[in-house]
Amino acid sequence: FYIMNLIAKYYHERLKKNYASNQYISSFLKIKNIDAKTIEKFYLGYSDGFDNVLDFLLENRIDSQMLLNFGIFKKNSKGKIYDIFAKRIIFPIKDKLNNTIGFGGRILEGKGPKYINSSENDFFKKRLLLYNMNNLKNIKSKLDKLFLVEGYTDVIAMDKKGYNSLAPLGTAVSQDQLNIAWQYNNEPIIFFDGDEAGKNASYRV
């Protein structure tokens, strides 16, 4: 997990350096009511280019070919390795031990899907994970109330209101993810968006 945590730290430092001067970042953070305290709690980050994090890792003597196994980098048609999260706000996905095992990215400029996740690998299986598990790791007994919400920013919004919540890494909730939620609360409340995607995800549960 050393390399993944190193990447998360790089993204995090880039966000702290750029959020006041980059209009795309500052606008997104303002709309989502994300302040400096929230950035720290969720260790949010920003990818400032296709090559920058790769250059950083190479400077730290990380083998570039090995990085392709982490689901964060791909090769283009010319064989050049690039960061798939370029120009996106980064949401580190962590396990219960607070190790970074994947990333979610929200686009801020240019074309592409609104949200993307790291590709799955041996230690990053989306159906076996929920976003925000690391922040609930020290809870000794079951919570009085737990919400299952649709996405990363929903978790953050609920946290700012004082509610505990988890989110699947996609639109549907798997049985494995429900099993995880039941470890925290006997009757988690499913609180998805009222649009078609949210309704469909709820029906699958």
Q: Tell me the sheet residues that pair with 149.
A: 191
The amino acid sitting at 88 is R
Mention every residue, 6+ apart, whose C-beta is less than 8 A from residue 197.
150, 171
Q: Give residue 138's pLDDT.
A: 63
Instruction: Report whether pLDDT(199) > 50.
Output: no
The predicted structure's pLDDT at residue 200: 45
Per-residue pLDDT tens over the stretch 21-65: 899 999 999 999 999 999 999 999 999 989 899 899 888 888 777
Q: What is the pLDDT of residues 128-150, one digit of tens each?
A: 999 999 988 666 678 889 999 99
Element (H, E) at 100: strand 100-107
The pLDDT of residue 171 = 65
Asked which of 48-57, 93-102, 166-175, 191-200 is least confident by mean pLDDT, the reply is 191-200
Task: Give the pLDDT score at 34.
Answer: 95
Residue whose C-alpha is closest to residue 91's, from 2, 29, 27 = 29
How is residue 57 written in tokens?
């890792």
pLDDT over threshold 80, residue 197? no
**CA–CA dist 130, 91 (Å, integer):** 12
Share of the chain above pLDDT 90, in %: 54
Per-residue pLDDT, 140? 65
Please tell me the distance from the alpha carbon of residue 82 to that of residue 50, in angstroms, as a whole number.
5
pLDDT at residue 194 in the model: 52
**pLDDT greater at residue 97 or residue 198:** 97
Contact 154, 198 (CB under 8 A): no
Residue with tokens 């962590």: 94
Give tens-digit pLDDT for 60-119: 888 777 788 888 899 988 888 999 999 999 999 998 888 999 999 999 988 899 999 998
